[in-house]
Structure 1
Amino acid sequence: MRGLLLRLSALDADAENAVRVIGFFDRLITERAGLDILVRNTAELAGCPAGLHAPGKGLSLRADSGAAVTAGPVPAKAVVRSLEDGVEVWVAREGEPAPLDDMLLERFAIAAAVLLEHSSVPLPELGDPALVELVLSESVGTAERSRALHLLGIASTSPLRVLAATGEIGGRSALLGTVRAVLATEVPQVDGRLGVGPLLPAVDAVKSWRAARTALRFTSDSAPVMWWERLGSLAILAEQLEPPDIAALHDVQVLDRLGAEPDLITALEALSATGSVRKAAAAVHRHHSTMTARFARAESMLGFELDSAYGRFRLYLALMLRRLRDNPE
């Protein structure tokens, strides 16, 4: 279907081809297609970006030909058809308009008006937790997510982080399984562990939520907060490794044995973070002379030195893998 309008126009912008365009939109109306489908299929038909702007419903949808629907403003170069209540549909074609563009915009506008009335968007009586859950659902489209954000008072293009928390935390939130999801722009203090997702346009909150859950898996009692941005290439480990794979690693098994000694894992995490025996000892409130002996014993069991860059990296990696194993999704 991609670029069908251009091919029809190249043949002849006559009544027969106009009827085909009308029939295309009539089918979408008859099937009560979602607004995402309407915008995406219109862009496919036109062979150029197309969109729907309905500020009263919190919708600002756009799609490029062959691409997914996203949120975005009406381009300055777009040709716009206005409806009631400030609703607009548009196409943004490079170069000269196609002969059937007027027909496409007219039928796009009619279809938008009808489907806006029938679209399965959240109702105003839904409370914040239900709306937050809808915003973070993998199964809803951009239109439903934008509408839920609108009812929460959040513009779909506003920057937003999603937090994954194990403890109580304020803000617009919902308990999803055993983890509390929070829509936020700032990162507050929390009593418990916290995974911080990246700052993204609010309509992409589901991506930030996915990243926040991954970041949460890398937290520990001594490092209760983890930001997605600070994981870097470590994030791929969460996608590629299962807990049994991690449990079979020699370094992780040794750390499990060392974990039987009080505070030794915490001390090793402090050493990994600071690179200094004295600073690590201060972090766990121990004298550095006692920590030297404990670290030497850890070295003998691990089989590598902890005072080299290589050793500290290997220790850090093993500690992070252990957190990942102990915090399955």
Structure 2
Amino acid sequence: MKGLLLRLSGLDADAESAVRVIGFFDRLITERAGLDALVRSTAELAGCQVGLHAPGQGLSLRADAGGGVTAGPRPARAAVRSLEGGVEVWVAREGAPAPLDDMLLERFAIAAAVLLEHSSVPLPELGDPALVELVLSEAVGTAERSRALHLLGIGTTTPLRVLATTGDMAGRSAMLGDVRAVLSTKVPDLAGGFGERVGIGVLLPAIDAAKSWQAARTALRYTSDSEPVVWWERLGGLALLAEQLDHADIAALPDVRALDGLATEPDMITALDALCVTGSVRQAAAALHRHHSTMTARLARAESALGFELDSASGRFRLHLALMLRRLRDSSG
């Protein structure tokens, strides 16, 4: 179907071609297609970028020919057809308009008016956590996600991070399983100690919040008592490892097996975590309220089990990697 309008126009912009365009949109209306499907199908038909803007519902949808539906404003060059209530449909073609573009815009506008009525699926009340679930769901279309953001008072292009936490936190949030998801346009100050673990997702336009939620959950898997807050951007290659390694792969690593053996000694893993976070034995001892000599003796036992020294940058890096992988293995994923 891609570019069908151009092929019809190239043959002859006659009544038969117009009827085919009308029939195309009539089928969408008869089948009560979703707004995502309307915009995507129209872009494929036109062979260029098209869009739908319905400010009253918080919708600003656009699609390229052959591409998915996204949120965003219309280009300045677009041909526009206005409807009641500020609703607009538009077509942005490079170069001269096709002979059937006027017909396309007219039928696109009619279909949009009808389907906007059909698509008014009841959404949760303002502030309902179910709205947050809709925003983060990968199973809903761009139109549903846009409307949910609109009801939450968040623009589709507003920069936003999603936080994943094991505790409670103020803001627009919902419990998803045993993790609380929080939509945040400004990350709260966590430096003073939040008391719970927090994974902070990547900063993205609000319409892409589902991707930030996935990143936040990955970051949460790397948290510990010594590192209760982890930012996804700071994970680097560790973020990729979370996708590529399964529990068995990690459990088979010699360094992780050695840590499993050391974990039978009370507070040993906590001490090793503290060493990696602080960078020195003295600071790690202070953070854990232990005497320096006690910490030194504990780390000596750890070095014997691990088979490498911990007083060098390379040794601490290797230890930190093993600790992070162990957290990843033991997390729920």
Fold shared per TM-score above 0.5: yes
Distance 1:106 1:71 in 2: 22
* CA offsets 1:52-71 (integer angstroms, 9 cap, x no match): 00001000000111111110
Match of 1:300 among 304, 310, 318: 304
TM-fit CA distance, 1:203: 0.8
Q: Which moved more, 1:276-285 or 1:59-68?
A: 276-285
Deviates more, 1:26-35 or 1:122-131: 122-131
- Measure how far apart 1:89 and its partner are: 0.4
Q: Secondary structure at the match of 2:260?
A: helix
Distance in 2 separating the partners of 1:267 and 1:191: 19
Question: Which runs of structure 2 are paired with 1:70-219 in the superposition (5 Å)?
Answer: 70-119=70-119, 121-123=121-123, 125=125, 127-188=127-188, 189=190, 190-219=194-223
User: Is contact 1:247-1:253 (8 Å) kept?
Assistant: yes
Shift of 1:164: 0.9
Cα separation, 2, equivalents of 1:199 and 1:36: 24
2:268 aligns with 264
Contact 2:127-2:152 within 8 A present in 1 as well: no
Distance 2:121 2:5 in 1: 30
Q: Give me the CA root mean square deviation.
A: 1.5
Shift of 1:289: 3.1
Q: Identity over aligned residues, as a percent?
A: 80
Deviations 1:60-92 (A, max 9, x none): 000111111110011111111100000000011
Instruction: Give the drift of 1:124.
Output: 5.6
| Cα distance between partner residues in 2 of 1:269 and 1:263 | 10
User: Quick check: 1:56 aligned with 2:60?
Assistant: no
Question: What one-letter code is carried by the residue in structure 2 that aligns with 1:13?
Answer: A
Aligned to 2:29: 29
Q: 1:226 to 1:146 in 2, by over 3 A?
A: same
Equivalence for 2:280: 276
User: What is the letter of the counterpart of residue 54 of structure 1?
Assistant: A
Partner of 2:255: 251
Measured against aligned partners, the alpha-carbon deviations of 1:269-325 in whole angstroms (never above 9, x if no partner) come to 222233322222222223333322222221111111222333222111100011111
Q: State the distance in 1 between where 2:201 and 2:283 align.
A: 29
Distance 2:125 2:269 in 1: 49
- Give, as a single letter, the amino acid of the residue that structure 2 aligns with 1:17: S
**Which residue of structure 2 aligns with residue 46 of structure 1?**
46
Displacement after TM superposition at 1:103 (Å): 0.6
- Partner residue, 1:239: 243
Alignment length (residue pairs): 329
Conserved 8 A contact 1:122-1:131: no
Q: Which moved more, 1:187-196 or 1:131-140?
A: 187-196
Distance 1:282 1:126 in 2: 47
1:214-242 residue CA offsets vs partner (Å, 9 max, x unmatched): 11111112211111111111011111122
Deviations 1:3-61 (A, max 9, x none): 11111111111111111111111111010000001001111111111100000100000
Assess if the C-alpha contact under 8 Å between 2:226 and 2:277 holds in 1: no
**Secondary structure of the structure 2 residue equivalent to 1:135:** helix
Partner SS for 1:77: coil
* TM-score of the pair, normalised by structure 1: 0.96
CA contact (8 A) 2:159 2:204 kept: yes
The whole-number CA distance in structure 2 between the counterparts of 1:243 and 1:104 is 54
Distance 1:310 1:175 in 2: 40
1:157-206 residue CA offsets vs partner (Å, 9 max, x unmatched): 11111111111111111111111111111223443111111111111111
Is the Cα–Cα contact under 8 Å of residues 256 and 325 in structure 2 kept in the other structure? yes
Read off the aligned partner of 1:295 and give its amino acid letter: L
TM-score by length of 2: 0.95
Distance 1:154 1:186 in 2: 13
4+ residue runs over 6 A deviation: none
Match of residue 317 from structure 1: 321
Q: Is the 8 A contact 1:121 1:148 kept in 2?
A: no
Q: CA deviation at 1:250?
A: 1.5
Q: Does 1:222 align with 2:237?
A: no
Distance 1:311 1:209 in 2: 33
Distance 2:285 2:125 in 1: 55
Give 1:122 shift: 4.0
CA distance in 2, matches of 1:55, 1:44: 24
User: Aligned partners of 2:201, 2:304: CA distance in 1, in Å?
Assistant: 38
Unpaired segments ≥5 residues, structure 2: none
